[in-house]
Amino acid sequence: DGGITQSPKYLFRKEGQNVTLSCEQNLNHDAMYWYRQDPGQGLRLIYYSQIVNDFQKGDIAEGYSVSREKKESFPLTVTSAQKNPTAFYLCASSIGWGAEAFFGQGTRLTVV
């Protein structure tokens, strides 16, 4: 089945460690997105990519980094510079202009 896979579903890390969240899609979509979801704040855009080897910062990019070396993959690294990394992270992809986005099941990151 085509879809978006995020892994792992739950992730625990110690404070000060970098951690990478995986996002893979087999929908042949060009655009991919990373969102952070906190209670009462909806989905906030971290990074997005419209094409391989290119990506742009969203509204809350500080403390995060991404890469887009393959069309299918858009991993997100939460660095130690992110001051409050505990959150629910959603990855999405879209075929192009004006099309709806399809979402993965999310990763719950807890930093202790």
Partner 1 sequence: AQTVTQSQPEMSVQEAETVTLSCTYDTSESDYYLFWYKQPPSRQMILVIRQEAYKQQNATENRFSVNFQKAAKSFSLKISDSQLGDAAMYFCAYRSGSDNTDKLIFGTGTRLQVFP
Rounded CA gap, 24 and 3, in Å? 8
CB of 62 to partner 1, least distance (A): 17
CB of 91 to partner 1, least distance (A): 10
Which is nearer to partner 1, 13 or 102 (by Cβ)?
Answer: 102
CB of 68 to partner 1, least distance (A): 14
- Report the 10 Å Cβ neighbour count for 48: 22
By the criterion CB under 8 A, which residues form the site for partner 1? Answer: 31, 33, 35, 40-45, 48, 50, 56, 58, 88, 90, 92, 94, 97-98, 100-103, 105-106
CB proximity list for 27: less than 8 A, separation 6 or greater: 2, 3, 4, 93, 95, 102
